[in-house]
Chain A
Amino acid sequence: MKDTWKNNFKRWMDGDQDLMEHILDTDEHRDEARAALKEEEHQILKKADEARGTQRVERLEMRGYYLTYHLVAIVSCVLLICVLLFTIANLPRYGVENPEATVVTRRYIEKGLQETGAVNIISGIILDYRAFDTLGESHVLFTALICVMILLQRDKKNMRSEFEDYYTIRNDRFHELYGDPVMHGVGSLLVPSIILYGIYVLLNGQISPGGGFSGGAVIGAGLIIFASAFGLLKVDRFMTRKLFSWIAFCSLSFYSFAKGYVFFTGANGLENHIPKGTPGAILSGGLILPLDIAVGLVVACTMYGFYSLFKRGNIGSD
């Protein structure tokens, strides 16, 4: 960058340079102390230059390392691509009947409706045949939220000053689109329909495509849009920290106990007393609907919790 008037003015505007410096720095005002200071600064900059020279030599030495590093990266990448393509080439073709691999699938398709009572076979598989899998998934999601909390939560122990929280919130509010009419209009138009759609997907998991995870994710996305359009403080009115913990605790423990009962009776050949209901109705599929609701609540809370933790390092205002 040249030392022109324009650049000087720009630097002054950015606050990097004082315009008065050059005016005071003329010959009349030069004194001994200032000259000594200048000399010292010059020496320091010279030393920095020398250090830069040694850095250059080091960089030359590192070049061999970088060459091998890049070579290894390229070779491993090509190998991975080859392995994946080879695996894909060996997979059975899409849509072609493969008698050996479809024993389990055929059982699901033939007896799924009779055994689980769910019209949507996928829900039947996810929440009945392989419910243990889904239990692990929802716990993994909850664990991820706890990890984010450990990293990002702001409390008295990790705040630099007492007012940091206040300042960040005020700063966010300044840069936010809370009062923006476009955001407001779009939010008030979209949020109710998105959350209604999420609830529909959640409750109709055993009849139509969807279920706990999809419905919960849609509701969580709706909550995020609501929070970004109308502010986090509006969401705090109903979504406090306490409610959040209670929802997560109740859903996960309900899931564990309900599924534990079914596993226990199933493994010991006992009769379980959960009605299957008529297939096609909302109240069908035995435990699938309550489990769907439990998973959906956990997912929705987790999605909103991620957003809130990323935004201000806390869930709820307290």
Chain B
Amino acid sequence: METAKVILMILLILCAVSVNFTQNLLQAVIIFMSYSSIMCIVWLLMESPDLAITEAAVGAGVSGTLFLMTLRRIRNEDERQQKAGEIAEETSDQQQV
């Protein structure tokens, strides 16, 4: 059981660090949700099943869903801005040539 705990803790730290280094927001949300799922198992191993239930429902379920909804709301705007940036870069490249 101790090795399982150590492995879960290492996975937790990995998840927490890797959220900072992802550029893609969708990946960040998925890593966040997996963090919550691992945390749920850790709560179970620490003998607090009520916290585990709440963590699974709120952390991995509802807040992840809300993050995804927000991403979809802002994605259109984001894509438009990205496209505008690309066009600006292209025009500046053509100017330099």
Enumerate chain A interface residues (CB-CB to B < 8 A). 1, 3, 14, 16, 45, 49, 52, 122, 201, 209-211, 213-214, 217-218, 220-221, 224, 228, 303, 306-307, 310-311
Contacts and interface: CB of A to CB of B under 8 A. Distances in A.
Interface in B20-59: 48-50, 53-54, 57-58
Contact of B57 (A14, A220, A310): A220
Give the interface size class of chain B. 20 to 34
Closest 3 CB pairs of A and B: A217-B57, A209-B49, A214-B53
Contacts of B95: 45, 49
A52 B49 CA distance: 58
A306 B93 CA distance: 45
A45 B90 CA distance: 12
Given A209-B53, A214-B54, A218-B53, A310 B62 contact: no
B33 to A, nearest CB: 13
Contacts of A220: 57, 62
Interface in B36-93: 48-50, 53-54, 57-58, 61-62, 65-66, 69-70, 73, 83, 87, 90-93
Interface of B: 48-50, 53-54, 57-58, 61-62, 65-66, 69-70, 73, 83, 87, 90-95
Main secondary structure of the interface of A (DSSP, over half): helix
7 contacts: A14-B83, A16-B83, A209-B53, A214-B54, A217-B57, A218-B57, A306-B62
A49 B53 contact: no
Contacts of B66: 306-307, 310
Nearest to A45: B95
Contacts of A3: 94
Contacts of A310: 66, 69-70, 73
B36 to A, nearest CB: 12
A230 to B, nearest CB: 16
Nearest to A213: B54
A214 B55 CA distance: 8
A210 B57 contact: no
